[in-house]
Amino acid sequence: MTPAQLRAEWRKCWRKPAPEIGPDLLRRGIAWKRQSRIHGDLPPHARREIEAVLKRLSAGKSAVDNERISLRPGTRLVREWHGTMHQVVVLENGYEHQGRYYSSLTQVASAITGAHWSGPRFFDLKARKAPRKR
Structural domains of the chain, count: 2
Assess if residue 50 is contained within a domain: no
Assess if residue 132 is contained within a domain: no
This prediction's pTM: 0.46
Per-residue pLDDT of the chain (134 residues), as tens digits, is 899 999 999 999 999 999 999 999 999 999 999 999 998 888 888 888 888 888 888 888 777 665 556 788 999 999 999 999 999 999 988 999 999 999 988 999 999 999 988 888 898 887 555 555 55
Q: What is the DSSP letter of 83?
A: T
Assess if residue 80 is contained within a domain: yes
Assess if residue 99 is contained within a domain: yes
Assess if residue 66 is contained within a domain: no
Q: Which domain holds residue 99?
A: 76-122
Assess if residue 54 is contained within a domain: no
- Angstrom CA distances, 12 to 42, 68, 128, stand at 21, 39, 43
Measured CA to CA, the distance from residue 57 to residue 55 in angstroms comes to 5
Assess if residue 62 is contained within a domain: no
